[in-house]
């Protein structure tokens, strides 16, 4: 049986990049950039005053620091640069271009005037002045032509602001794949229905739809009955029009677990069935025929915690690869209490993490009723990944040990 | 001068909750719940089989563990419960209701049949069987009536799934306030414009708009010139139709810094001007008159890093309060290298955090060109909050010390 990492590697090897589309800046947040954004000008594009005060020539001032400087001219932000007359200063405002001939700015607070509020002014005795102070030099942040944003970036607020600064009203981003989410299981009824005592309402579709929304990926929700013909007919239509299928349920060993057979009948090539993990062991993955190329089919076990774990360990990394977003940096957390787990399986332990005042992230296990206990996920914000085949006699994962973390919320 | 925490407390004291609205489940992710969601039935609602296999009476089986059990009847998921005949078993599928009279399930893998694939069957010798195994007892996760989701929850995938399970097609969530984002500064031109050498394109509006999108909060982008009349006219219109204003620029000591005066002229009552922090010291906050009550006016300094810090330290906590989302748990990180900072100000240090394999979060300072260096934010994913008035002679914040973290991205 494959380990979760082996299974993931097989899935990622099948992830083909989607195409790109141009979207307006206001719709680009959270999307994956597919172009390089470069500085169209120096950053900043001119020597920029960073404090309200006066600008002058440091060398001229330093020759006679106690001198009074006429400073009636004003350099406002947004105006072309003035030129400094010898022996004078120019009042300058934050964001303005530095006047020609000036190289140093002294804040109003560090000046004194012959008469209150008027020119001439001079630097207060004892105030230290250094050459070039309060000037944000042209190109000192990034030179013209510098790469600012590389393809693959998941666009956040500063990225959008930088794109605006270089004049891009639109950005080239990854298209969004068209996914179908299909639940199976004849015990499941519609959310609006009044279930009979032996029925429950569907929830996995909503779980996956909501998780995909974080990536702006739309999906249609479908439900198919535990009948081979109906499964084949329904899945054939979806293979024909979707970029990937996310199924839940029907992949175990039961008499009504018809999903693998229906998929095989449709020519979906199985890559693997079952992974050495808990929860989520009966996971089935294959590649179906589609009009635009192979269609990945994730057939996740139907218990809600299994579906959830499968989304975060398999579907999301696949989606990131398809969108061309690089893998996120790994996360780790400290196990908060002893856990015993004997099976030779990777255990995705449900935890609530809490940042400690010593800078560590502590993960408290949240015991639940197993993979069918959807409500337990309400108290959980991550999965701690405990490796299989523990090498101690008590099958003990000890409080204080550190493990990889998959975090959500 | 107020500290950042004092300033924030004054702002939060003015945060009035918004009303509520009902949205379909598919649009509720990321919104703030304003109703209580309770279990309409037990979780699970019936004794639920968790493995494919056979169900029987433990007491009857234990009296004669090697007995052959006729097991031709099948309990499928979604069907009403069968009733066990004495001395027999019933085949049961994952998700099915446990048949009446049965209390224990044994997996197919742990059975042997007289003839391959047919009934009767018996439990393999040596397989341990415990009373009630592989049965998810009715109500064992949550009893009917239990509170599942409380008001204030920021809705994530498991919450949406739980709402579906209890039959809610819509959820009551906080309405979204109508915000206006207004940049000022005559050096600023439109994103689509070709700036003159002493001009730059606007970016702060896009920065704030993108940050607000994480909370689904829409905003209109505006720009007003550095002229008192135009500021008054423009701001008066926005006070009249918005729930809050977010300004950037025009709040410092320069001759063109007319925002505080324009706001005062419009009857916006100043709560404070300037906060003991870097960057973002000239922050101005007040309450304006509006047709539906007081309108908070955040007048942030115009340097992009100042605007960004102001958003995360003031606007976002205010927004969470308005939306009735509780404060998030505090975060902490370990400073990755020595930093010297002398001014008696709270210093929002730009950092890139990286989870360490020992479970700590390490924050590497990302040096930049100051509050005007927008591009520096591209390399940053958090702000480490260094307190003022360091009590050592070198003004040293030492590598290894832990400080509160504001994280984004």
Over residues B192-200, mean pLDDT: 97
10-residue mean pLDDT series, chain A (409 residues)? 98 96 98 98 97 96 95 96 96 97 96 82 96 97 98 98 98 98 97 97 98 96 97 98 97 92 98 98 97 97 97 98 96 97 96 96 95 97 94 90 95
Distance of residue B350 Cα from the nearest chain A Cα, in angstroms: 13
Q: Using pLDDT thresholds of 50, 70 and 90, give the confidence band for residue B328.
A: very high
B256 to A93: CB separation less than 8 angstroms, yes or no:
yes
A359 to B191: CB separation less than 8 angstroms, yes or no:
no
Q: Using pLDDT thresholds of 50, 70 and 90, give the confidence band for residue B379.
A: very high
Instruction: Give domain B21-42+141-174's CATH number out of 3.40.50.10890, 3.30.460.10, 3.90.105.10, 3.20.20.70.
Output: 3.90.105.10
Residue B204: predicted pLDDT: 98
A94 to B252: CB separation less than 8 angstroms, yes or no:
yes
A1 CB within 8 Å of a chain B CB: no
Which pLDDT tens digit goes with each residue over B53-72? Answer: 999 999 999 999 999 999 99
Sign of CA dihedral A259, A260, A263, A268: positive
A293 CB within 8 Å of a chain B CB: no
CA-based nearest residue to A179, from A129, A268, A244: A244
Distance of residue A242 Cα from the nearest chain B Cα, in angstroms: 20
Residue B253: predicted pLDDT: 85
pTM for the full predicted model: 0.96
- What whole-number percentage of chain B has pLDDT above 90? 96
CA-based nearest residue to A226, from A218, A234, A236: A234
Q: Which residue from A141, A155, A375 is facing B375, i.e. has the nearest CB?
A: A141
CATH architecture of A331-407: Beta Barrel (2.40)
Residue carrying structure tokens 């702060």 = B204
Both structure tokens of A139: 């190109």
Q: Which residue from B140, B203, B332 is facing A161, i.e. has the nearest CB?
A: B203
Both structure tokens of B255: 């001759």
A42 CB within 8 Å of a chain B CB: no
Locate the domains of chain A by residue range: 4-18+176-323, 27-39+147-174, 46-137, 331-407
CA-based nearest residue to A213, from B169, B25, B177: B25
E strands, B168-294, are 170-174, 179-184, 188-189, 200-201, 219-224, 244-248, 269-273, 277-278, 284-288
Both structure tokens of B194: 């070709």
Q: What is the ipTM of this complex?
A: 0.96
Sign of CA dihedral A235, A239, A242, A244: positive
Both structure tokens of B208: 């704030």
A254 to B81: CB separation less than 8 angstroms, yes or no:
no
Number of CB pairs, chain A paired with chain B, less than 8 A apart: 334
Contacts of A397 in chain B (CB under 8 A): none
Q: Which residue from A39, A205, A373 is facing B141, i.e. has the nearest CB?
A: A373
Q: What gap in Å lies between CA A383 and CA A404, rounded to an integer?
A: 8
Query: Cβ-count burial of A385 within 10 angstroms (0-12 exposed, 13-18 middle, 19+ buried)?
Result: buried
CB B181: neighbour CB atoms within 10 A?
26
Both structure tokens of B124: 């393999």
Instruction: Give domain B4-18+176-323's CATH number out of 3.90.1150.10, 3.40.980.10, 3.20.20.60, 3.90.1300.10.
Output: 3.40.980.10
Residue B117: predicted pLDDT: 66
Over residues B381-406, mean pLDDT: 93
Contact by Cβ (8 Å): B377, B308: yes
Contacts of B29 in chain A (CB under 8 A): 210, 213-214
Contacts of A192 in chain B (CB under 8 A): 167, 169
Instruction: Report the residue of chain B nearest A375, measured CA to CA.
Output: B162
Which pLDDT tens digit goes with each residue over B13-32? Answer: 999 999 999 999 999 999 99
B24 CB within 8 Å of a chain A CB: no
CA-based nearest residue to B44, from A375, A367, A282, A378: A375
CA-based nearest residue to A7, from A404, A402, A282, A306: A282
B141 to A76: CB separation less than 8 angstroms, yes or no:
no
B141 to A375: CB separation less than 8 angstroms, yes or no:
yes
Residue A117: predicted pLDDT: 66
**Element spanning A332, H or E:** strand A331-335
DSSP conformation letters of B37-49: EE-SS-BSSS-EE
In the stretch 131-170 of chain A, residues with CB closer than 8 A to chain B read: 136, 140-142, 148-149, 154-169
The domain A46-137: what is its CATH number? 2.170.190.11
Across-strand partners of B97? Answer: B48
To test the contact with chain B by mutation, choose from A228, A257, A259, A375 the residue with the greatest count of B C-beta atoms within 10 A, namely: A375
Q: What gap in Å lies between CA A162 and CA A160, rounded to an integer?
A: 5
- Virtual torsion, Cα B47, B51, B55, B57, nearest 10 deg: -70
Q: What gap in Å lies between CA A74 and CA A49, rounded to an integer?
A: 12
Q: Using pLDDT thresholds of 50, 70 and 90, give the confidence band for residue B295.
A: very high
Residue B232: predicted pLDDT: 98
Both structure tokens of A298: 């994730």
A404 CB within 8 Å of a chain B CB: no
pLDDT at B112 over 80: yes
CA-based nearest residue to A168, from A287, A56, A24: A24
Which pLDDT tens digit goes with each residue over B139-170? Answer: 999 999 999 999 999 999 999 999 999 999 99
Distance of CA A84 to the CA centre of its chain: 49
Q: Using pLDDT thresholds of 50, 70 and 90, give the confidence band for residue B389.
A: confident
To test the contact with chain B by mutation, choose from A31, A78, A91, A118 the residue with the greatest count of B C-beta atoms within 10 A, namely: A78
């Amino acid at each position: 049986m494959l380990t979760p990492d082996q299974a993931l590697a097989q899935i990622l090897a099948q992830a083909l990049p989607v195409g790109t589309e141009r979207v307006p800046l206001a719709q680009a947040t959270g999307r994956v950039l597919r172009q390089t954004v470069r500085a169209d000008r120096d950053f900043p594009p001119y020597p920029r005053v960073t404090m309200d005060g006066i600008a002058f020539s440091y060398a001229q001032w330093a020759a006679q620091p106690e001198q009074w400087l006429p400073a009636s001219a004003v350099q406002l932000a947004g105006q072309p640069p003035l030129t400094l007359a010898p022996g004078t200063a120019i009042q300058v405002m934050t964001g303005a271009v530095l006047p020609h001939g000036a190289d140093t700015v002294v804040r109003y607070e560090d000046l004194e005037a012959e008469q209150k509020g008027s020119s001439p002014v001079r630097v207060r005795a004892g105030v230290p002045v250094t050459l070039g102070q309060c000037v944000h030099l042209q190109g000192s942040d990034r030179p013209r032509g510098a790469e600012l944003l590389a393809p693959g970036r998941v666009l956040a607020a500063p990225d959008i602001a930088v794109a605006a600064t270089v004049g891009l009203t639109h950005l080239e981003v990854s298209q969004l794949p068209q996914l179908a989410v299909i639940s199976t299981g004849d015990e499941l009824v519609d959310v609006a229905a009044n279930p009979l005592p032996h029925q429950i309402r569907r929830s996995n579709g909503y779980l996956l739809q909501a998780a995909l929304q974080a990536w702006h990926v739309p999906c249609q929700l479908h439900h198919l009955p535990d009948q081979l013909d109906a499964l084949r007919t329904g899945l054939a239509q979806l293979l024909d029009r979707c970029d990937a299928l996310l199924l839940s349920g029907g992949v175990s060993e039961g008499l009504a677990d018809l999903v693998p057979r229906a998929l095989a009948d449709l020519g979906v090539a199985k890559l693997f069935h079952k992974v050495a993990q808990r929860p989520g062991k009966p996971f089935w993955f294959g590649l179906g025929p589609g009009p635009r190329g192979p269609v990945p089919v994730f057939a996740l076990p139907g218990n809600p915690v299994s579906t959830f774990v499968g989304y975060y360990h398999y579907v999301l990394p696949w989606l990131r690869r398809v969108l061309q977003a690089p893998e996120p940096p790994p996360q780790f957390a400290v196990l908060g209490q002893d856990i015993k787990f004997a099976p030779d399986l990777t255990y995705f332990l449900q935890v609530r993490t809490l940042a400690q005042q010593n800078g560590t992230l502590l993960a408290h296990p949240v015991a639940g009723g197993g993979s069918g206990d959807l409500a337990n996920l309400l108290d959980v914000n991550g999965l701690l990944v405990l490796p299989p085949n523990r090498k101690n006699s008590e099958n003990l994962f000890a409080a204080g040990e550190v493990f990889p973390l998959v975090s959500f919320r």
